[in-house]
Amino acid sequence: MLTDIKIPKEIFELSAELDFYLGADFSIFLRLNHREVKNIHFFSPNFVPEIKFSRIKNIFLSFSSIEMKIFRFEDYKIYFIRYPYETISKSNILLYDFFVKVQSVYDDFCLKMNMALNSRDKREFLENITDIYCILSYVKEFDFQTYYVRKYGFEFDKDMMEEIRKGLALINQEDIEDFLLSSKLYFSFDFSEISVRILKFLNSLYSAG
Write the pLDDT tens digit of every residue in 142-157.
Answer: 899 999 999 999 999 9
In order of 51, 151, 157, the CA distances from 154 in angstroms are 36, 8, 8
Question: Which DSSP string do the residues of the chain spell out, in sequence order?
Answer: -GGG----HHHHHHHHHTT-EEETHHHHHHHH--B---EEEEEESS---GGGGTT--S-EEEEE-SSEEEEEETTEEEEEEE--SPPS-EEEEEETTEEEEEE-HHHHHHHHHHHHHT-SSHHHHHHHHHHHHHHHHHH----HHHHHHHHHSS---HHHHHHHHHHHHH--HHHHHHHHHH--BSS---HHHHHHHHHHHHHHHHHH-
Q: Do 83 and 140 lie in a common domain?
A: no
Q: Among 41, 71, 103, where does a domain finish?
A: 103
Q: Name 124's Cβ contacts closer than 8 Å, sequence gap at least 6.
A: none
What is the reported pLDDT for 209?
A: 52
Q: Do 116 and 131 lie in a common domain?
A: yes
Question: Does residue 144 contact residue 156 with C-beta atoms inside 8 Å?
Answer: yes
Q: Do 126 and 138 lie in a common domain?
A: yes
Q: Do 91 and 158 lie in a common domain?
A: no
What is the reported pLDDT for 200?
A: 94
Q: Please state, in angstroms and rounded to a whole number, the distance separating the CA atoms of residues 2 and 63.
A: 27
What is the reported pLDDT for 144?
A: 93
Q: Do 115 and 204 lie in a common domain?
A: yes
Weakly modelled stretches of the chain, pLDDT under 70: 1-5, 51, 57, 207-209
What is the reported pLDDT for 113?
A: 96
What is the reported pLDDT for 53?
A: 74
Q: What is the CATH number of the domain that holds 60?
A: 3.10.450
Count of domains observed in the chain: 2
Q: Among 103, 124, 156, where does a domain finish?
A: 103
Say if strands 90-95 and 21-23 run parallel, antiparallel, or are unpaired. unpaired
Largest CA distance in the chain: 52
Q: Among 45, 80, 103, where does a domain finish?
A: 103
What is the reported pLDDT for 207?
A: 67
The Cβ-side half-sphere exposure at 170, using a 13 Å CA radius, reads 11
Q: Do 94 and 149 lie in a common domain?
A: no
What is the reported pLDDT for 208?
A: 57
Domain that holds residue 137: 106-208
CA dihedral 151, 146, 135, 128 (to 10 degrees): -50
Q: Do 166 and 190 lie in a common domain?
A: yes
